[in-house]
Amino acid sequence: MSHLKFDTRDWKFILHEQYDLKQLLGLKKYADFDIETLDTVADEGIKFAIDVVAPINGPGDAEGCKVADGRVTAPQGYAEAWKKLGANGWNSAIHSPEFGGQGLPLFAMMPVFEAMNGAGQAFFMYSQLTSGAAHLVENFGSEKLKKLYCEKMYTGAWGGTMCLTEPGAGSSVGDLVSTAELQPDGRYSIEGTKIYISGGDADFYGNVVHLVLARVKGDPAGIKGVSLFAVPRDWVNDDGSTGDFNHAYVESIEHKMGINGSATCQLSFGSRAPTYGYMVGEPCSGIVYMFQLMNEARIMCAVQGSAIANASFQQAVAYSKDRKQGGDVTDLGGASVEIIRHPDVRRNLMLMKGYAEGTRALIARAAWAADFSMSSDSESEKENYHNMLDLMIPIVKAYTTDKAFRTTELGIQVFGGYGYCRDYPMEQYLRDVKITSIYEGTNGIQALDLLGRKMRLKGGSLFMQYVMELSQFVEQHKAHSVLGVASETLGEAQGALGEVAFWLSSQPRAAVANTLLQATPFLELFGDVMVGHMLMQQAVLASSKLEAKLGRPSATREEREADADVAYYAGKMDVARFFVNEVVSFAKNRARAMTTGVNVANEMVW
């Protein structure tokens, strides 16, 4: 049975009411698509997630992966689902038609990515890692490598991995000790151990292509000396045929908190017999290539978080409409009522809605910017969107995944004891989603990236551009009959954000340790403001829809009950007002706290 309750309505709003898909389809790259086709593809993807992926999520978690003699067996049902995933083109929906992809816009496929991750984060990781690895080869590999690997990977015949982490090199990738040595035949022999490699092997992979970061012997120490190699599990001959085992060996798999259906492998290269690979691109450019695809990878990580947050939210709403406990607050001795009637439960649900839909809106903005930054026909438009994306990415990744954990935890609270037990998917959601704040650059590292790098890019102008956009929005809507107060609160929060940004940027270099104490609080503050802004943008649009339907930007309970669209639009206005009041309004106090110079965390002797 499928556990996924997917919110198609909110995505239709984003895709068709908030954004103009025609603008995207106006780009040369997407000229062959029409809106109807995109809708049909997205609907099919969501259906696939519900029918094929969701049913294996719980059993896959309970069963987990196994390893024997260096080969991984994934949970039952994964192999069959993988075959269907490949056959239906879901590994390669947004990738190049030249290599078996469909070349669809990222933005239009976001509902599918959310549905797949909400249905089975552990299962869909195999797909995301494979297409991510293939994308690296497609972008930076030689013609030969592209021809040998990309189509096989995009179609799901073979898997792919990203091998960065080593026992002594996690966040600090440049500390890696894996080596590569050029052979007379142009190949490199690779030696080293990689840990925590997602999808390092699976019984449904005909072969696996590992994208490995290693240092060519003699190249500089640190991150600047790292190169990228494509290392197949089974050697691939120049004619495309598969040769002998290449001794990329799965030593073990991790026993972990969540995503148990995803095999997290320790791999050794060259420890038993030589392992060979080809360099991808130029020497010492490994991290440059990783960086170029990082924005997309981080959006995808955020989608995992948001998908689980939204799935939890949908479950919590459904459960609280069903579960009866205690009398209504106005009739305490009376019959038990559904828990959704209790104010504290309603508050939890509203906060969940704010984070879940707010981060979805944030991710949608990032995906839109990613599409235009890669595919616009105008260079200046490309650059504008690229700038917008650069600033947003650490917030999109870290804020979304942190709040996804919080949202999912709130969902368990709504369920009470049933949420803590395995009767419902809630506890699995919580275990699964935690990893999103750790991999793809920990959230602490994202905060450093925002404060230390992104805020300074182009002399701080990316931040100023965003602040100007927000202040124009506030100016435009502060007199709104329903949303005016929230707009003003958002404006005050924007002022606080600006002040704290200025304060942080003017701290002396000698105080860097204390300044960096504020990196995570700053990212969280920025995230609160940005998500408040995203929700308010949607609310303003929803109010105009209500105006058109009812002649006023609000709706009575009866009007909401009589018309699902009215209920939806009014709900968008409610959640924005709630979120701004409940979360964004604390911005001023938080900003003050950040600038008071309480640096005890650095003074503490542990």
What is the spatial distance between Cα 304 and Cα 167, in angstroms, rounded to a whole number? Answer: 25
What is the spatial distance between Cα 181 and Cα 482, in angstroms, rounded to a whole number? Answer: 67
Nearest residue to ligand FAD, by Cβ distance, number only:
170
Shortest Å, Cβ 168 to ligand FAD? 8
Interface positions, 368-397, toward ligand FAD (CB under 6 A): none
Residue closer to ligand FAD, measured from CB, 291 or 502: 291
Among candidates 403, 406, 392, 396, which has minimal Cα distance to 363? Answer: 396
Question: Tell me, what amino acid is at 589?
Answer: N
The DSSP call for residue 31 is: T
> Apex CA 413: angle with CA 531 and CA 75, to 5°?
90
Shortest Å, Cβ 516 to ligand FAD? 8
Shortest Å, Cβ 517 to ligand FAD? 11
What is the spatial distance between Cα 273 and Cα 395, in angstroms, rounded to a whole number? Answer: 44
Residue 294 within binding range of ligand FAD, rule CB under 6 A: no
Give the number of residues in contact with ligand FAD, rule: CB under 6 A: 20
Among candidates 515, 324, 316, which has minimal Cα distance to 427? Answer: 316
Shortest Å, Cβ 444 to ligand FAD? 3
Residue closer to ligand FAD, measured from CB, 367 or 435: 435
Interface positions, 415-474, toward ligand FAD (CB under 6 A): 435, 438-439, 442, 444-445, 448
Shortest Å, Cβ 123 to ligand FAD? 14
SS3 for 199-213 is CCCCCCCCCEEEEEE
Residue closer to ligand FAD, measured from CB, 41 or 65: 65
Taking only Cα atoms into account, the Rg of the chain, rounded to an integer number of angstroms, comes to: 25
Residue closer to ligand FAD, measured from CB, 438 or 541: 438
Decide: 518 and 590 in contact? Cβ < 8 Å: no
One-character DSSP codes across 47-97: HHIIIIIGGGHHHHHHH--EEETTEEEPPTTHHHHHHHHHHTTTTSTTS-G
Among candidates 115, 91, 435, which has minimal Cα distance to 307? Answer: 115
Shortest Å, Cβ 171 to ligand FAD? 3
The contact mask relative to ligand FAD for 238-257 (x = CB under 6 A, - = no) is ------------------x-
Residue closer to ligand FAD, measured from CB, 130 or 376: 130
Question: Which two structure tokens, joined as six digits, stand for 44?
Answer: 């099919």
**Helix boundaries (H) for 434-518:** 443-449, 461-477, 484-505, 512-516
Question: Which two structure tokens, joined as six digits, stand for 138?
Answer: 């497609």
The contact mask relative to ligand FAD for 254-283 (x = CB under 6 A, - = no) is --x--x----x-------------------
Instruction: Find the catalytic residue in 254, 440, 469, 499.
Output: 440
Decide: 204 and 131 in contact? Cβ < 8 Å: no
Q: In the annotation, is 440 catalytic?
A: yes
Shortest Å, Cβ 231 to ligand FAD? 13
Residue closer to ligand FAD, measured from CB, 265 or 396: 265
Residue closer to ligand FAD, measured from CB, 165 or 515: 165
Among candidates 132, 215, 124, which has minimal Cα distance to 176? Answer: 215
Shortest Å, Cβ 65 to ligand FAD? 12
Residue closer to ligand FAD, measured from CB, 38 or 176: 176
Interface positions, 142-201, toward ligand FAD (CB under 6 A): 161-165, 170-171, 196-198
Q: How many helices (H) and strands (E) does the chain have?
A: 23, 14
Residue 506 half-sphere exposure toward CB, CA atoms < 13 A = 7
Can you give the binding site for ligand FAD, defined by CB under 6 A?
161-165, 170-171, 196-198, 256, 259, 264, 435, 438-439, 442, 444-445, 448
| Residues catalogued as catalytic | 440
